[in-house]
Amino acid sequence: MSMPPSVEWRVSDIPVPYPEALAFMEARVADIGQGRAPECVWLLEHPPLYTAGTSADPAELLQPDRFPVFRAGRGGRYTYHGPGQRIAYLMLDLNRRGRDVRAYVCRIEDWVIAALARFGVRGFRRPGYIGIWVDLAAHGGRPGDEAKIAAVGVRVRRWISYHGVSINVDPDLGHFAGIVPCGIAGGRVTSLLDLGITASAADMDTALMATFADVFGESTQLPELQK
């Protein structure tokens, strides 16, 4: 029996261990591919940890004993995840959304840009890189200073996507010092709080839910809390 083309939303209010999240995504990807479950967007955070993408260079793990390190299987290099960072894992069927990974990544970036705009933040891409940056001068910084506020890393199996995007709401930015974030030497990271904007994970969830349909073309319903 085929499932309706709706998107299930999950929101977790406590940090989710990385292996648990990965196991859920892999199971859901298989179920979507077999028509046993609908697509899913999961909003959550992790305990402090580092993940290594398929292009990760061991030399870019500067403090290997600081936090647990997990092989993610997604594209990209090293990233940090932890409290205060909102993660959106997207398990979407690209068989019906278009078999174009580059276009899909662009749509994720468009989604983040739209969500950030709800906080008065103008996010933008940098040529040659994946993710979203902000101009610090617009928030009291020096002209020309830019910093990354969101990282994107995806994996696709039989044209079902998983992994997704992490957005810095109010994490401890010092935790990024243990890696070269996304392989950008000297690259600066920022957050909404660092920009002077006080927001909660729930505020970011609301912004992501409100802008999802505009980018991905799906109507959504507010989810019940998943612990």
pLDDT digits (tens, 9 = 90+) for 119-167: 999 999 999 899 999 999 888 888 878 999 999 999 999 999 999 999 9
Q: How many angstroms separate the CA atoms of 54 and 199, rounded? A: 32
Helix (H) / strand (E) element for 163: namely strand 160-168
Whether residue 71 is predicted with pLDDT greater than 90 in this model: the reply is: no
131: left (phi over 0), alpha (psi -120 to 50) or beta: left
Taking residues 48-61, what's their average pLDDT?
A: 89
**Among this protein's residues, is 182 annotated catalytic?**
yes
* Domain spans in the chain, listed from the N-terminal domain onward: 7-216
* Sign of the Cα pseudo-torsion (58, 62, 66, 72, in order): negative
Question: In this structure, are strands 132-135 and 146-157 parallel, antiparallel, or unpaired?
Answer: antiparallel
Q: Tell me the CA distances in angstroms from 54 to 8, 132, 173, 179, 200, one per residue in order.
A: 28, 20, 24, 15, 31
Among candidate residues 166, 87, 79, 167, the one with its CA nearest the CA of residue 121: 167
Assigned superfamily of 7-216: Bira Bifunctional Protein; Domain 2 (3.30.930.10)
Say how far apart CA 136 and CA 173 lie, in whole Å: 15
Which of 90, 182, 208, 209 is an active site residue?
182
Per-residue pLDDT reduced to its tens digit, 167-182: 999 999 999 999 888 7
Q: What is the pLDDT of residue 53?
A: 84
pLDDT: which is higher, 152 or 226:
152
d(CA 144, CA 124): 14
Q: What average pLDDT does the structure give for the chain?
A: 90
3-state helix, strand, coil in the chain (%, to 5): 30, 25, 45
